[in-house]
Chain A
Amino acid sequence: MSHTPTYYNSRRQQSFSRNQNTTRFQSAIKLGPVAHTVLVALMITVLGLIYVTQATRTTGYDYQAQKIDSQIAELNQQKSELEVESARLTALEAVKNSTVAREMVKPASTQYVSE
């Protein structure tokens, strides 16, 4: 079976006889209700897949966030340990027992200079 294309003459073509390739295509293929249903189902599936992909990506971020949280906790713990060590090293008892302190002598007397 053959069919004849129907040409569409735009107003511009009518006026200037240009744009000769401008056509209005009318498909001879008709989509029935089954095809429509399948297409809609396919579209829903694609949209669903897109949603699932996005949700999975979000979950991926959750894992990254969890990993970063763990790193922060680990670093905080190391920081705390260093602070404790620093406090121990600068504790009065440690300072008193340091070699520098041991070589110090008590002043015999204290003098104040008045202005």
Chain B
Amino acid sequence: MQAPLHIDPQQAFAEMAAFQRKLAAGMQNLRGLGEQEYANTPREAVYREDKLTVWHMKGNAKPTAKVPTLIVYALVNTVWMTDLQDDRSLVRNLLEQGEDVYLIDWGYPDGADRWLTLDDYLNGYLDRAVDAVGRRHGLDAINLLGICQGGTFSLCYTAMHPEKVKNLVTMVTPVDFQTPDNMLSQWVQRMNVDLFVDTLGNVPAELMNWVYLMLKPLRLNQQKYVGLVDILDNPAELKNFLRMERWIFDSPDQAGEAFRQFIKDFYQQNKLIKGDLQIGNQPVDLGMISQPVLNIYANQDHLVPPDASRPLGRHLGTKDYTELAFKGGHIGIYVSSRAQREVAPAIHQWLQQRT
């Protein structure tokens, strides 16, 4: 048996020198790069309320879909992950397929939004956003595409307002919040969320970012930046990297009351699948969802493990339930090359068959 390390000392020093050389030379390429823009697909604001904006996204051709699709993103991070860069945009891919796409930009809550509840978000903002889109098309019901926490919101909304949703697509959406591999869930189980929100008010974005980095501390906080040194001499890749960094750390604070309820009811008590959930005065029963549902989850998702998404089918009232497993992670499902080829076409095909 031989030693597993076969590192020649001279070669090791050369490797170190190369690292330092790249690091030193890389500064030239960072010079003047500034803030990287997202894809910025042409769009028009069609509804505004407080900090929320509903955007109508514009493609190169007129949509062929008869029913518009409203993208409901999570309150954490921003919706621009769906329109990150020219060649990595779920929105653009959906538009190219002929879908008519709207999306909700929740904005950045501040102290004035401290008391917004989930009822305010779902039966207030989301309901009025759905009405606004429906009115523009003369429709009583539209399609919803919910992402991550936004998927959970879309499920709750559809259960409470079934007459307003034609088809429902959920992506990387947690449904069972207490699977053994759910690290976020583990961490909040012993947390006194009342003390937490009473103390912090709104939950700072920096704190949310800290939590996400701590899910994989070395990979996300060190190895990634070691890898950056290798692309410092490639302006295109460097821009992509910086754009993703912008999105990762461009996070909104979380409205205190909504956060309190989300952690208690969903993470700590898992009420959604137990059937005990109530938003405002309305019970949320997933069994009330009789619309067609497409549930897309990512096999390597470290934020919403597949086991947290897959149980959805067992709790719905619909007979038209489709599950799609994507080979990738929580972010790769939007920005990987595979995602560009697979996700939007799959959604379009599924919607087309039901319109």
A and B assemble together: no
Chain B: residues with CB nearer than 8 A to chain A? Answer: none
